[in-house]
Structure formats: structure tokens, C-alpha cells
Chain A
């Protein structure tokens, strides 16, 4: 069954970006977008345009940092990497998701 394509919600985009960076190491914006699309098997169609404001927000919160570098074909690109604070945030978010899932499970079983 194909899940209907849905817009990714605000907060979850942050989560996905952090996870991506944590797993894959430093990446540039396009790379992040590609990866998210890959993981979700194209089910989550990220409006690529919303990615960049999200990256900025994450920067402001101090969960990722950015550095200009040179890409594989010698072009200037901005590379993002996760920070310690970002990793901690990731753990916390993952935990709260799990707790949420467990709660919902209990409710469903109980009913």
C-alpha cells in the first residue's frame, strides 16, 4: 500500500535534517534534500524550498553549523554539520517520538 504523499511538517523536517547529518556527516543542502527523498522512498516530497529556511533555523538554534567548502566538481557550496547540541537534541527528539509511539500503541491495544 502506498502511503499518500504528504507534506512534511515543520518540526519533523528539522528532525530529518539532524538525523541525516548525524548519519552521513557534513553535507550540502542539495545533498540533504536528496538523502531525505531517498530514505523516505520518495514518499515524503520535501518542498526543497522549505529546506533552506529550516537549515537557517537549525543554525540559529545552534544545532548545526555551516562552512563554505568546495564541492566534488570544484564549485563553492555550503556544508552543514551537526553539533554536540544538535546530537543531544536528536536523542531527545528520538526519545519523545518513541514515547509517543508507545503511548499510541497502548491506547490502540487497550481499546
Chain B
């Protein structure tokens, strides 16, 4: 009973060898019989073979019977393909390298997209999490006020949990002295909302919301660095701002709060009875994170909470400007922000590169197919079906694609690392980018897809083989179709390259335009740093102005320092202070105005080299007890005192100490928010008259700003040993960081456009060389008839130029459409900027010319006799 199955298994294992032997035996016996009948030995054998009816066919039918056909065919195809590839190492190398380039670039970009856009955020059931804030009259997220947050938390019907956080920082007194810890105040249910519990110790409790808030949960890296990874720290205290905070727990390794900067520790958000004061409904400083109830959509959550917001607004005086609207956005979207579109565009661009690579491969394979058409014809003649031939060619292409894909995977890993090193820091999840199942699947799909794509062309060429024609020595027929295909592929490649080059060109121009924007100050060689002016945990308003003044004075004595100053906020720092003000003697168009606002030392504006337009800078006599004065920028002057001189006019602010400032100077606008942003109103007051607990130093030096850092630190230590200096950087670096995202996309697109160009040029070179080889005979004839070198050159180069022109013309339309997608990324340049398009088209044409030149030169060197003889 088992016998037949065993037989079958045995046959499977023995494979074809048994069958071959059997058939050989059969043929021998038949031959013998034929000889016995009187035939000559050769005839006997031939008749025996004929009687058998074709060995290959028999074999195939047996295999069919075995049901193994597909598998053994495949194995045979693969072995054959490998052999072919090994026989032409040059071709294989070029093909695999081309593929590695295309697939590697795609893998790298996709792994970034995977990490930032696709992978779920590392929280429990992360797509139920939303970012929740109040919204301004334009619907833009505008933070939460504490009393409103408590109302939302209590009265909503849509959130399982609603938590809130705000940024904070502490001076942490560790073993190496004072250090800064980035922190966040979080509501007690924050980690429960995220669904991640501390790895050591425990979470905050409801009691913490009302207590003194002197508890802390540490992040894993901070715990390692500051506490040496000692688990006994749970229940112990650490000193933050001079006060003891009980360490409740440590978050797991790898945990990242949904926020752009890494956070060192979390303390409870204390929302005691004062937090419910309705007078604070306008004071927005919190951000909410909510977990939606099952089945609730983002839209529903918005509708439900909007009612609460409107109720709050109705019950508050208009002066508080309570928001009547909410902003509920998926957490991932809020973190990713504007990055989604440019990332997808980059993926599109790198997809183009892969298409161009596939085109080149198709051409390469077509060339090989032509060379091997005799072989193909032979196989067709002895019984290979057309289907089999196509399958064999496709197997070869797929094998090539597989090899290329494997190489591309390696290249992609390396490329991902490169991308990460270049990218701006604020893309969420970026640091985790790397190989995972999805990326692997993508690479495999890309390889197979590419393989099928470029494999189709030679496969059809193989299938369309005309046996008679191919077996003849000269097979000129059927080649025009191929010529069209090859040329067409190259034209398509050129068109795609044009689109990429145009896009890259536009981004480059935008970036250069951006860099050329005058920032309104001189960022060269200016050191910046943050200084806390109070002893940790104390509020010493009285000593702040004097401390700052002395510090600045001492810094200016350091050799190499030209001048120094301090301000509450630096330009391009992503920080701001805004105050509401009114102008009793200015234009009365809108009552409540807002201006950016900074307290600065007298030397600050001079240190940054902000030009004074009218009036004067602050001086030392603008002290705490002197009349309050202010300096404004041009935008503020123009907007609120149009047509008149603001000097001598007044500004009224709602600060508790000083209410009315007299304007004494007007300075040039600074690009405060970004080089690509419009200047907004700014107002400066003397630091002495509004001393905050911190100050940002700006120090202009002769040489490298980094050299004076230690000198500044020692000066600070002598003045106030318990005050740390951190966030040391240079103004130049801040300018650079502010344009980092733009630079990133520009570099990426330019790199891919460059790759595309190189590949397209290789394609042109290939096609033109091939044409020259095909037309060697014709060239020989022409030369024999008197054509000179120059004419032959012109002939060949004209071919290349024709391809380029066709590609450019066809590509122009597509490129114009494609660059429209870039519009939001551009600055100072339109998406159809004619200069860029003209330049790029010209460059492409010239490059194509160069690519055609070399085969052209080869053509002229052809020996007359060889050419005439060759067919």
C-alpha cells in the first residue's frame, strides 16, 4: 500500500537521472533491434530516436506526470541563468551595480519613511492617541489653559484618558556640579494614557496632582548617567533646583516621549485649587494628549470637546481671549507635521531613479538577447515552447534582480545610515530607522518588480524569435522594432531625468535665495549660551541685573572678545515671548496688539550688529530706577505709527511692574522666526528694567568663538559658582539649523537627480555605442565613398542629440507638472521658473552630447576593411 508512495518519493529524489538512464537503455535496445533488421548503425540509432519521439519531450511529459515540472524547470532555468551570468562577468557586474544603486537608494529612503510615517508610534495602541489643544480663530492649535484642561478632562465623553504636559527644566546638582535637565511637567495619568508603565518603581498617582509636585520619574539614559543605573534610587531623592525630589520610577529603556527633544525626567503637573481660577482661562501653556474611547473618531472628539470650549468661552470675559475652538489631531500627524509631503516626494524621486536603472538594464539585456538569438532559435527548433523561452528569460532577469536586490539591501543599509547623519533632528522616530520586516519586504518587492519590468523587454524579444531568420547568418529583419524600443527607453530615461534635475535645480535655487536673505544681524563668529541667573530654587530678582551686568563686563575683558550682551531670547532659536500692548498715541486701528518682546542688555544689539535706524541704543543709565524706555523694530514702527516718528511715543503693556514705555530707538528688522518668514513686530526693553531669571549670552569674537567658552565659564564661576552655563552654541550654527530641513531635501533631491543623470547618460552611451556597432558596415561604406572623420562623428553625435532633444521635449511637460508638487517647498522661485528649466535642459543636452562623443570617436577609428567585411 505504501509502495507506490515510496516509489514516487524515490522518483522525486532520484530526479531525472533515473529517467535518463532508462531512456538511454531504451534507445540502445531499439538501435540493436534496428541493426538486427539490417540498418546501418547510424541510421539505426537515428530511427530509434525518432521512434522515441523526442527525448526532451518525453522527459518533459514525464516530469509533467510527476507533477514536478514547474519545480525542475525552475531549477534548470536558474542553473542555466547562473551559468550565463558567470560567463559574462562584465555585464553581470554592471547590471548588479546599477540595480544596487537604484534599489539601495530606494531602500534607504523607504526605511526613513517607514520609521517616520509608517511604523506605529511606540505606545500602546498608538493610533487611538491624539494631540489635544485649544485652537485660535484660524483653527490652529494654540495650547491649553489649566482650568480649561480640567474641565475638558471632567466633562468630555470621548476620551478614555486625557493628560497634559508642559516643558520645564531643572538645574540638577549632580556629582560634576550643576547641570541642566530637560524635563516636563506631566499630569499624573500621562503614562497611563500612553500605555507605557515605568520599568522600575511606579507611576505618579492622583495624589500628586494636588501635592507639592516634588516627585520625579527619570528617563533611562538620565538614570544611567546621573544615578549610575543604581536600582536603589527608587524612593531616594535627587536635588532639582536645590530642592529634594523623590524618585518614583524609571521609564523603560528606549522610551521616548512624543516630543521632539529628548526628555531627562518628568515631574507631576500640580493643578491644585489655584489651577481652577477662571481668571487663568486665557493662560495657555499646556498641551494635551488624549486616548480616544473605542469607536470614537477624531472628528467626534472634536465636536464633543468643542461644546465644552464654547461654554468656557461664553462664561469668560472677552479680555481673557478664551478660545472657543479645539484642535484634535492624530498624535502621529501632529508630530510629523509638514514632513509628510516632502518625504513622499523624495520617495517619488528615488522611484524615478529606479525606473531609469530598470531602463538601462532592459537595454543591456536586449543587447544580450540580440547576441544570443541564435541560441534561442536553436532551442525553439528543438522543441522549447515559446512559453518556456519567455520563462527562461524572465528567470534570468529575476535572478539578476535578486542579486541586485541583495546588493541593494546592503547599499540600502549603508545609505540609511548616511541619510540619518544628514537629516534634521526633528523628524519623529527617525533615530529608529533601520531594517525591519517592512523594509525587507519593500526591498524584495522593488527587486522583483524591477526584475519583471526590465525582464519583459528581452523576454518578448526571445519569444518573437523567428527561427528561420535567426539561424541565418545575417539577421537584419525584426531589428527595427528593437531599435525603437531601445531608443524609446533612453528617451524616457532622459525625460525622467529632466524632471528630477528641474526639481533639484529649483530646490537649490530656493536654498541659495534663502541663504542670501539678510538676517538683519551678523551671525558670524558669535557665541551663544544660556545662563540661569538665580541660585537653584531661589528667585533673586534683585541680584539679576547686577549679575548680568558684571558678567557681560567680565566677558568683554576676555582676550579675543569684541563685545558681549545678553537677551531673553535669541533670533532663530524657536523660542519667543509675546506680549499684548496698546499705543495710546499711535494708530488706533485695532485695540489689542501683540509684539515679540525681549529684555536686553545695552551691548546686545550692538553685539549682534543690528543697525540702528533712528534714535539710540540702551545705555547704562537705563537702569532699574530710570524712566522705562523701549526700542522697537521697523515693522512695529511702520504698523502702529504709520507716517510718523515713533520716537518719544509710548507703549502700554500689562506687566505688573512697569506699564508705560517711552520709545527711544528704532532698529532694523531681524528675521526672528526664520529666514523664510516675514519680520514681525519686536520690542526691546532694558534688562535692568525687566530682569528675568535667565539670560542668553551673545559674544562676538575675533577668532573661533569656541575658544572663549572655558574663559567665560571661569568668569561665571568666580561671579556665581552655583549658576550653570549650558546650551553653548554659535549664532552661525543656529542659522544653519534653522534651514536644516530645507537643506536636507535639497541635498537628497540633488543626489538623486545626479544619480538619474549618470544613469541616463550611461543609457545614451549604451544605445549610441550599440547603434555604432550595428552600423559598422554602413559607416565603412560611407567612409569608402569619401565621408570624412568629421561627418561620421556628426552622424553619430546627431543620434545622441536627437535622443536628448526628444527626451527633453517630452519630459518638459511632465517636469512642469512634477515641479508643481514642490511648490510648497520653494522659496523665492516659482515652480515653473524658466531660467532653471532652460539651464537644466541645456545641461542635459550638453551631457548627452558628451556621452555620444566617445562612441562617435570609436566609430571614426573603424578600419575600412573590417567595416566592409563585417555584417
Interface residues of A (CB under 8 A from B): 28-30, 33-34, 47-50, 52-53, 56-57, 59-62, 65-66, 68, 71, 75-78, 83
Contact = CB atoms under 8 A, between A and B. Distances in A.
A75 B4 CA distance: 25
B829 to A, nearest CB: 71
Contacts of B51: 48
Contact of B30 (A30, A52, A76): A30
Interface stretch (B56-64, B584-592, B803-811): B56-64
A29 B4 contact: no
25 contacts: A29-B26, A30-B30, A34-B33, A48-B30, A48-B52, A49-B53, A49-B57, A49-B61, A52-B19, A52-B22, A52-B23, A53-B61, A53-B62, A56-B65, A57-B65, A59-B4, A60-B7, A60-B65, A62-B3, A65-B3, A75-B25, A75-B28, A77-B22, A77-B25, A83-B3
Interface in B49-76: 51-54, 57-58, 61-62, 64-66
Given A53-B65, A60-B8, A78 B18 contact: yes
A76 B21 CA distance: 8
B11 interface: yes
Nearest to B57: A49
Pick the 3 closest A-B CB pairs, nearest first: A49-B53, A62-B4, A49-B58
Nearest to B48: A48
A3 B475 CA distance: 48
A109 B342 CA distance: 88
A56 B53 contact: no
A56 B62 contact: yes
Contact of A30 (B7, B21, B29, B61): B29
Given A30-B30, A56-B66, A59-B11, 19 more contacts: A28-B22, A28-B25, A33-B26, A34-B33, A47-B53, A52-B58, A53-B58, A53-B61, A53-B65, A56-B11, A59-B4, A59-B8, A60-B4, A60-B8, A62-B4, A75-B25, A77-B22, A78-B22, A78-B25
A11 B332 CA distance: 67
Contacts of A28: 22, 25
Contacts of A68: 18
Contacts of A49: 52-54, 57-58, 61
B64 A30 contact: no
A10 B54 CA distance: 19
B53 A30 contact: no
Interface in B526-585: none
Contacts of A30: 25-26, 29-30
B2 to A, nearest CB: 10
Contacts of A71: 25
A78 B66 CA distance: 17
Contact of A65 (B4, B18, B30, B58): B4
B18 A48 contact: no
B4 A61 contact: yes
Contacts of B52: 48-49
Interface string B1-42: 101100110010000001101110110111001000000000
A65 B19 CA distance: 15
Contacts of A66: 7
Contacts of B57: 49
Contacts of B4: 59-62, 65, 83
Contacts of A59: 4, 7-8, 11
A83 B311 CA distance: 92
Most buried by A among B1, B22, B51, B53: B22
A65 B7 contact: yes
A83 to B, nearest CB: 7
Interface in B274-300: none
Contacts of B1: 62
Contacts of B19: 52
A47 B18 CA distance: 21
Contacts of A61: 4
Nearest to B28: A75
A68 B29 CA distance: 16
B383 to A, nearest CB: 11
A33 to B, nearest CB: 8
Contacts of A83: 3-4
A61 to B, nearest CB: 7
Nearest to B3: A65
A47 B51 CA distance: 7
Most buried by B among A28, A30, A68, A78: A30
B45 to A, nearest CB: 14
Contacts of B11: 56, 59
Nearest to A72: B29
A34 B11 CA distance: 24
Contacts of B54: 49
Contacts of B62: 52-53, 56
A41 to B, nearest CB: 17
Nearest to B14: A68
A7 B57 CA distance: 17
A30 B65 CA distance: 19
A48 B53 contact: yes
A34 B28 CA distance: 14
B503 to A, nearest CB: 60
A78 B418 CA distance: 63
Nearest to A60: B8
B617 to A, nearest CB: 100
B117 to A, nearest CB: 53
A98 B18 CA distance: 38
Contacts of A48: 26, 30, 51-53
A31 to B, nearest CB: 8
A83 B7 CA distance: 13
A21 to B, nearest CB: 15
A50 B59 CA distance: 10
A48 B25 CA distance: 13
B22 A29 contact: yes
Contacts of A34: 33
Nearest to A84: B1
Contacts of B25: 28-30, 71, 75-78
